[in-house]
Structure 1
Amino acid sequence: MRNLPLLLFFIFILPGCSSYKIVPDYVFNSIDKKALYIKSYDETLKLWKVPFEEMDVTTSYGIAHIIISGPKTGEPLVLFHGTDASSTMWFPNVKEFSAAYRVYAIDFPLEAGKSLSNSIRLNNKQTAEFYNEIFKHFRMENINLLGISRGGWMVTYLALQPGNAIKKIVLLSPAQTFGGISNLGKVLSAINLKMFPSQKSTNRFFEAFSYYPNEINAIFKNQLYLAYKYGNSKPRLLNMMPFSKKELKSLKIPVLVLIGDHDIVNTEKIFVKAHQFIPNVETAVIKDAGHFISIDQSEITNKKVVEFLNKNE
């Protein structure tokens, strides 16, 4: 069953349904390749230092796969991963985040992971509805959102939607949120990895995006490599225009923005815009950290995030 066409059909039993629903997999074009990726995903999950449960939730836009940790009585903290990194990327952070918060890490449905979209593309409005249906499923209130890179942009977009129940947001190295990419040349290493996946291009990718590329866990590195080797996610930069002055001014909730001092996506210049337009914002530069700030400097990042979330406004 190798090299099956892109619109290969997989059978899933959707929760709460008495019948089968057949949907295409728009990310993986082979059952065997997807199986190899899922095996690596599960290997990375073994790095999580706290108990967790995995759950699938049916939405209007496909199946959402969610990893849940922390006390059931804790306020919700929803995690939005970076491109193709999947929810497993939070392995250095979930222990501290879930000490007091009910943590929900959601795989984006059109990237490598365990979520599954029922459409070949989702616009921003549809993506927001996908997440809001998950929030509604779990009856979330006073929701805290945390996103890194592309996930940071999505968190900001969700916080700008009318009638939301979002309490605070945390943006880690947010892509395209306050402006364009700082070092496009190095960021293109991700495109090179997507087009020509190999161990060499993988190493160059981590060297560009991390300050300590050799210290990133090899299990997670392998998972991300297989995401690019076997996955077929589409870049979403055209869907991610920087937010306007008017939009940023409308963010009345507390906002925390953290970037690394060696981030190739952002520089400290974004803080000028953040402080000028966002009414209630905190910012900080994390020393010796690249774009993978949550991995490069997990201890200080975790501390700053938890302190911000615990603060009474």
Structure 2
Amino acid sequence: MTGYDRLPETTPVAPQPKGIGCFRGEGERATFVAAYRDGMALLPPVEEERMVDTGFGRVTAYRFGPPSDEPIVLLSGRQASTPMWRENLPGLLRHRTVWSMDSIGEPGATAQTVPLTGPEDQARWVDEAIAALGLERVHLMGVSIGGWLAVQTAIHRPARLASVILLDPAVTFAPVAWKMIVVSLGSVIPGMPQALRHRLLSWISGGAQVDDTIPEARLIASGMRGFQQRQPTPAQPKNEQLQAITTPMLAIIAGASIIHNPAKAAARARRVPGAQVELWPGRSHAINGEAPDEIADRVGKFLDSLPSRGVT
């Protein structure tokens, strides 16, 4: 039995204690589970699946490719999980083994048991999950809020990080723009028509068509509709925290992102010592799906530029 076959058992349904993310009801969870399973079926073969315990709940992680040192570990965006990486996995696997972890507090094959109180807790569960997987050092790669999570790990729990790779990270280098606040508020309104949720996702994605025929859109829309977020509001890192980061960093900022001011985000990202920061014109916040081959090539070059530690 796979982890996503166990989804009905592992993902909480309301009512839950304060601070525990959960689905609004059994029907909402069933809709998400169907989208999740369909999305997983489109990914490259899962070579290993693990469910590991952390201080905040159980995390499901999937390995793509053979075991190796210093793999890439993926952190998904808000209301998303492993299936969102469908377009990226083939390219990334040309460079490294890839693990993907479904985040605690988000809809996915996770089971949150303890509330997250702030960035330190977020970094702790990531570090504990990496340790429980038996991974000595990893390249932590996150998109959107997953990028924020990667940076918080670099700030608070950097010991296992060989590098961090950020794809248009949210609430990290610039404040959230008003357009994104509209999307965020709209996504949590109960009873919102599905067509309107798709329109909000299209706005994030630079006007691209978004509907249930696109597996990632169906997955995220079902999470938006059926999952109750109960996490603290993400805090933007302070300047002194960014300047103290010693983990090698690649930050790709989407030039047409609505989540923040891209130019200001890129400028502030350059405060991280030695960070490789690029502003990609014309790309939206959905950059991972828009430019998977370009991202894979750039990530490969970045990894090749790092000091060798005998990676096999």
* TM alignment of 1:1-313, pairs within 5 A: 6-7=14-15, 26-161=21-156, 164-181=159-176, 183-196=177-190, 197-211=192-206, 213-214=208-209, 218-234=214-230, 236=232, 238=233, 240-266=234-260, 267-275=262-270, 277-313=271-307
Change (3 A) 1:180 1:128: same
Quickly say closer, same or farther: Cα 1:5–1:211, change in 2 above 3 A: closer
CA–CA distance in structure 1, aligned partners of residues 122 and 275 of structure 2: 25
Letter in structure 1 aligned against 2:225: K
| Change in CA separation of 1:250 and 1:190 when aligned onto 2, cut-off 3 Å | same
Contact 1:71 1:99 in 2 (8 A): no
**Residue identity matched to 1:6:** A
Deviation at 1:301, TM superposition (A): 1.7
Whole-Å Cα distance in 1 between the matches of residues 209 and 46 of structure 2?
28
Matched-pair contact (CA < 8 Å) for 1:7–1:26: no
The higher-RCO structure (CA 8 Å, 6+ apart) is: 2
Assess if the C-alpha contact under 8 Å between 1:187 and 1:264 holds in 2.
no
Q: Secondary structure at the match of 1:78?
A: strand
Question: Which secondary structure does the structure 1 equivalent of 2:100 belong to?
Answer: strand
Equivalent residues of 1:71, 1:100 under 8 A apart: no
| Aligned equivalents of 1:40, 1:5: Cα separation in 2 | 17
Contact 1:210 1:291 (C-alpha < 8 Å) held by counterparts? yes
SS in 1 for 2:186: helix
- For residues 122 and 306 of structure 2, the distance between their equivalents in structure 1, rounded to whole angstroms, comes to 30
Relative distance call for 1:211 and 1:5 in structure 2 (3 A) is: closer
Partner SS for 2:156: coil
Structure 2 CA distance for aligned equivalents of residues 247 and 6 of structure 1: 36
Q: What is the number of residues matched between the two proteins? A: 292
- Corresponding residue number in structure 1 for 2:3: none
Give the 3 Å change call, closer, same or farther, for CA 55–101 of structure 1 in structure 2: same
**Where does structure 1 lack aligned partners over 5 or more consecutive residues?**
10-23
Per the alignment, do residues 123 and 249 of structure 1 end up closer, same or farther by CA in structure 2, a change over 3 Å counting?
closer
Separation in structure 1 between the aligned mates of residue 145 and residue 247 of structure 2, nearest angstrom: 20
Cα drift, residue 201 of structure 1:
1.7
**Cα pair 2:56 2:115 within 8 Å, conserved:** no
The residue type equivalent to 2:226 in the other structure is Y
The aligned amino acid for 1:265 is: I
Q: Which amino acid aligns with 1:83?
A: R
Task: Identify unmatched segments of 5+ residues in structure 2.
Answer: 1-11, 308-312
Q: 1 CA distance for matches of 2:247 and 2:16?
A: 44
Q: How far off its partner does 1:124 sit? A: 2.4
SS of the residue 1:41 aligns to: helix
Secondary structure of 2:114 counterpart: coil
Query: For residues 301 and 203 of structure 1, do their structure 2 counterparts lie closer, same or farther at Cα, with a shift above 3 Å needed?
Result: same
Distance 2:208 2:71 in 1: 31
Work out whether residues 199 and 210 of structure 2, in 8 Å CA contact, stay in contact via their aligned partners in 1. Answer: no
| 1:43-67 per-position Cα deviation (integer Å, ceiling 9, x unaligned) | 0112213444432112222110112
Q: Deviations over 1:264-289 (max 9, x none)?
A: 123122222222x2211111222332
The percentage of counterpart residues that share the same residue type is 20
Distance, in Å, in 1 between the alignment partners of 2:179 and 2:157 is 37
| SS at 1:63 equivalent | strand
TM-score normalised by structure 1 residue count: 0.85
Post-superposition offset of 1:26: 3.7
